[in-house]
Amino acid sequence: MSVTMYSTPWCGYCHRLRGQMDREGIAYDVVDIEQDPSAADVVMRVNNGNQTVPTLVYSDGSAQTNPSLAQVKAKLAEL
């Protein structure tokens, strides 16, 4: 099961969620949308044209925008 977090270095919400996921032992990959234009396209596609981060994309192709840790854990339990 994989989780990809689309993020930016300056995003406070991203840093907070990464810390929470680290503490819970949830593995994830981080993609900086400022360094990877194709990643920015992915984020815009799932957010109605907006570059809203953090955006998490799961192994089933579903996405969550700025989810809470509880939402992330519920989604992972579902997969």
Instruction: State the residue range of the domain holding 13.
Output: 3-78
- Structure confidence by residue, pLDDT tens digits, 16-71: 999 999 999 999 999 999 999 999 999 999 999 999 999 999 999 999 999 999 99
Say what the pLDDT of residue 9 is: 96
* Nearest Cα to Cα of residue 2 among 65, 56, 67: 56
Per 3-state DSSP, what percentage of the chain is helix, strand, and coil (rounded to 5)?
40, 20, 40
Give pLDDT, residue 55. 98
Domain count, the chain: 1
CATH code for position 74: 3.40.30.10
**Number of other CB atoms surrounding residue 18 within 10 Å:** 17
Asked if pLDDT for residue 1 goes beyond 80, the answer is no
